[in-house]
Structure 1
Amino acid sequence: MYSCGESHEVLDAEISACVLQLVNISDSGIHNKRYEDVSKQRFDRAILTFLQHLRRCYIGDQVVLSSKQLYTRLSELLGLHDHLLLINVIVGKITTNLKYYTKCKELIDHTLTLFLEMASGSMTGKLLLKLDIVQHIILNHNREQFPFLENWECFRSRTTLYYTFGMLVFMEDSQLKFKSSVEPFLQVFGRLNSTPDALFQSDAVKYAFIGLMRDLRGIAMATNSRRTYGFLFDWLYPAHMPILLKSLAHYADAPEVATPLLKFVAELVLNKSQRLTFDSSSPNGILLFREVSKLIVAYGSRILPLPNKADMYTSKYKGISICLIILERALSGNFVNFGIFELYGDRALFDALDITIKLMLSIPLGDIFAFRKVAASYFTFLETLFNGHLSFVLNLDKTALMLIVESLELGIKDLSEKISSQCASAIDNLATFYFNNLTVGFISEFPELFSRILRTLFEVVILEDRGNQWTHSSAILSMILISKELFANTKAQILASYPPDRHQTLSLCFDKLMEDVKISLDSKNRGKFSKNLTRFKSEFCVK
């Protein structure tokens, strides 16, 4: 007689045995020819869903010890006495799906999701590496093993597959194993490098390159430490970087090629888990940024003069948006000392910033806000630019600088708290720079623009309940301290928008706002002003 918990495990084992037997039947005999049938696709998706839940409940070193009844019963029914044998059966189903489904993207993606979930777990990942079938496919990932790799509709799925492979390869932490696993990529690089320029734009070359970029992006996503990132970087640089530059020269105006390339580069410069922390004596950070600069300049200089098309997002904006992401990640990644470029007369930083600003300004403000992904990358880049590279910003011509600052004003009003905070932070950095270094300059040349910005900041604080008041508070204080006249004008404009009978009360609120606030932008003074602003908001809004 089983206890309640034990009886459930036995029932789960019996149900699982039935499902696994169905898997064996459905992938053999006459059913082996039915992978194009919708009915079989639906059946296999149901199987995958079941296997996902089975894995979460019963596979792993922690659960196998507490699931003895399940494995005892599975052993009786199918001979599966532990989770390693069960994983082997599940992986067999995964490889069968990836081998025989060539056109059903939904099922391929579902299968890859299960595979990725298993590889992501520290326990299940190590168990996968014990299986001969997994070791085989890691070293033989080609179109014979996975025909869907050649299907254009499934090209996006390649990234997930190679992300999974990468996680498994890097789990072994062996440079030799890594080099063996990327051997098939060397063959693709070899074919691309040997292709004459006249034939480089053929469909065969184009598809090969797109696939390669999607595959390598997956591998790059899987590097989560300095060591594993070093495996990839040392293999990639300098041998394989020239083909990326050559491809942009041929395909900058072809989004289906340029986008996967740029997304790969964006992943390559993302310093997650501090994986891009190079040794102090290593030039790799500088070398990586120089390559990134070349790629951005190559893309930007070719895309800018192209005529506009009906679908501006696909033809231009998406690529520009990814370039902004690339440069923002490179600037904020802390893997290179940018002072070195100016010190040695290297134009890599200047050229990258220069072409990126031109790309930004080529997009009308209305389109930036209309396409939310563009807006997200645009304002994230501006926040980073105003935080660490204000000297470059202030050397822009006045028209360009005014357009950028006007976009920050509009961004402060944006419903996205993240964008609003980024814009307030950029304004704060600009005003802080003037407070610490200058008495006159761009801000004094455009008093109306900055008066509008300060008023906008106040209005957002007064009229809206947001979770980012601290960021707005810092920007408001910085702007107040750089110009008493700017504050006085803004105060007068805000009071004028209220009935005269409230002016005296509201004016008193403004006076209290600066109580005990010093002419300083240190953290203590900012904290005092923020408290005053909270009180200001409460009293100002009282009817």
Structure 2
Amino acid sequence: MESVVRDNLENPLDDNTIVSQQLDQMATIGRCEYSKTCQLLISLFDTSASVYQSLMQTSSRPPQELALREGQLTWLVYLIGSVIGGRISHTNADHYDSMDGQLVCRVLQLMNMTDLHLPQHGCEHLDKAFLHFFEKFRMVYVSEVVVQKTSKVYQPLAEQLGINDESMLLNVFVRKIVTNLKCWISSSVITNKTLQLLNDLSVGYSSVRKLVKLNTIQFILENHTPEHFPFLSVTHGNLDTRCRTSFYTALGRLLVVELGDDEDKFSSFIRPMTTAAENIRQMFSQQQMGGMVSEEELRRSLVGLCRDVRGVALAFHSRNTYMLLFDWLYPSLCLLLTSSLLLTFTTHAQTAM
């Protein structure tokens, strides 16, 4: 990394293919003599993290030195995630779980420190590495194969961070997801990878039931608005609107766990979309009356609402939940969407003529 920073060379972290290939190899190699691998990673990590922490505590941060340490830590977080992920192919490696726990502690401590400086200062490569780490950890320790609370991976976590079990660690996952969705709106890569992590967590039968018991998840289900999650705002046109579908598919899966036939709970959840539909209706009324309406804002609002509804529909598989959604859609919202599409098509046709 030093030559990349000092000599302004091409950063290998920019090439996802190269990074992925190298990490796949390290996942296997690193597990061969895992004790030595962990000792080396811990030594390198502690040295770089200590210097980086000192840099972040100073008002004048040398850009090159900061970039160098962030690059080093990015590779180390990637490597830690990969060697932990390599445990999948080692079924009799329980005695190494405490070593995994030591590595996890260091990554989480670093993440807590870097999150304190968001959004004023953030390293996109480093946050991508955090998401890679979370995904690898999820594959090994958060799965449908139940991991006992007594797993040795939680011993260092309990001693150093007060994280005693899977539910508490899932809360760390979710808080990071919320932080990213609030602070990394400028990065479509991090936003999409963060939403992918949320979707992966919402698929598992056991994990999704643990997630819905978390206060942070309940906060998301009750406050999924642009005020709390800026990427949902129609004023941010730099993100692919498909991320909205991904977001609401995950929220829909979380909602249905305890929804049943509760119409009030569904109405509360769907209220932001009801408000969005009413705003679209008002904009169309103003437009038909000759008022000044931004066509781009109207288009984004309409597309955003359709993406959101599609996400919820993808998660509502049972008859009861789907009927709740259908009763909300039909007939008023269906008529609004149909009229909107017809009017939009007519407007574009007239403009073309």
Distance 1:53 1:67, change over 3 A: farther
2:247 aligned with 1:161, yes or no?
yes
2:95 aligned with 1:7, yes or no?
yes
Return 10-19 or 66-75, whichever deviates more: 66-75
TM-superposed deviation, 1:52: 0.7
Distance 1:232 1:51, change over 3 A: same
Note if contact 1:64-1:82 (Cα within 8 Å) is conserved in structure 2.
Answer: no
Helix, strand or coil for the counterpart of 1:172? coil
Note if contact 1:138-1:165 (Cα within 8 Å) is conserved in structure 2.
Answer: yes
2:227 aligned with 1:139, yes or no?
no
TM-superposed deviation, 1:114: 0.3
Q: Which has the higher contact order (CA 8 A, sep 6+)?
A: 2
Note if contact 1:166-1:219 (Cα within 8 Å) is conserved in structure 2.
Answer: yes
TM-superposed deviation, 1:72: 2.1
Note if contact 1:57-1:63 (Cα within 8 Å) is conserved in structure 2.
Answer: no
2:128 aligned with 1:34, yes or no?
no
Aligned to 1:411: none
Aligned to 1:230: 323
Aligned residues: 253
Aligned to 2:182: 99
Helix, strand or coil for the counterpart of 1:194? helix
Q: 2:136 aligns with which of 45, 50, 53?
A: 53
Tell me the TM-score normalised to structure 2 length.
Answer: 0.67
TM-superposed deviation, 1:194: 2.4
Cα separation, 1, equivalents of 2:142 and 2:313: 28
Amino acid of the structure 1 residue aligned with 2:251:
F
Helix, strand or coil for the counterpart of 1:63? coil
Cα separation, 1, equivalents of 2:195 and 2:347: 28
Distance 1:33 1:203, change over 3 A: same
String of CA shifts for 1:456-502, please: whole Å, max 9, x gaps. Answer: xxxxxxxxxxxxxxxxxxxxxxxxxxxxxxxxxxxxxxxxxxxxxxx
Aligned to 1:148: 231
Cα separation, 1, equivalents of 2:347 and 2:254: 33
Amino acid of the structure 1 residue aligned with 2:130:
I
Cα separation, 1, equivalents of 2:347 and 2:126: 39
Amino acid of the structure 2 residue aligned with 1:16:
V
Alignment of 1:66-77 (within 5 A): 68-77=151-160
Aligned to 1:367: none
TM-superposed deviation, 1:252: 2.3
Aligned to 2:274: 186
Note if contact 1:170-1:178 (Cα within 8 Å) is conserved in structure 2.
Answer: no
Helix, strand or coil for the counterpart of 2:224? coil
Note if contact 2:149-2:166 (Cα within 8 Å) is conserved in structure 1.
Answer: no
2:159 aligned with 1:85, yes or no?
no
Cα separation, 1, equivalents of 2:110 and 2:119: 13
Distance 1:157 1:253, change over 3 A: farther
Amino acid of the structure 1 residue aligned with 2:146:
V
Note if contact 1:98-1:146 (Cα within 8 Å) is conserved in structure 2.
Answer: yes
Distance 1:221 1:188, change over 3 A: same
Q: 1:18 aligns with which of 106, 114, 118?
A: 106
Amino acid of the structure 1 residue aligned with 2:309:
L
Cα separation, 1, equivalents of 2:150 and 2:346: 57
Note if contact 1:129-1:168 (Cα within 8 Å) is conserved in structure 2.
Answer: yes
Aligned to 1:272: none
Cα separation, 2, equivalents of 1:66 and 1:77: 16
Note if contact 1:112-1:160 (Cα within 8 Å) is conserved in structure 2.
Answer: yes
Aligned to 1:204: 297
Q: 1:214 aligns with which of 307, 327, 331?
A: 307
String of CA shifts for 1:248-297, please: whole Å, max 9, x gaps. Answer: 12222789xxxxxxxxxxxxxxxxxxxxxxxxxxxxxxxxxxxxxxxxxx
Helix, strand or coil for the counterpart of 1:64? coil
TM-superposed deviation, 1:16: 0.6
Q: Kindly, what percent of the aligned residue pairs are identical?
A: 32
TM-superposed deviation, 1:204: 2.4
Note if contact 2:222-2:268 (Cα within 8 Å) is conserved in structure 1.
Answer: yes
Distance 1:123 1:192, change over 3 A: same
TM-superposed deviation, 1:226: 1.2
User: Aligned-residue CA RMSD in angstroms?
Assistant: 2.4
Amino acid of the structure 1 residue aligned with 2:335:
P
Aligned to 1:172: 258
Cα separation, 2, equivalents of 1:201 and 1:42: 36
Note if contact 1:74-1:80 (Cα within 8 Å) is conserved in structure 2.
Answer: yes
Helix, strand or coil for the counterpart of 2:157? helix
Cα separation, 1, equivalents of 2:280 and 2:135: 39
Gaps of 5+ in 1: 256-301, 308-543
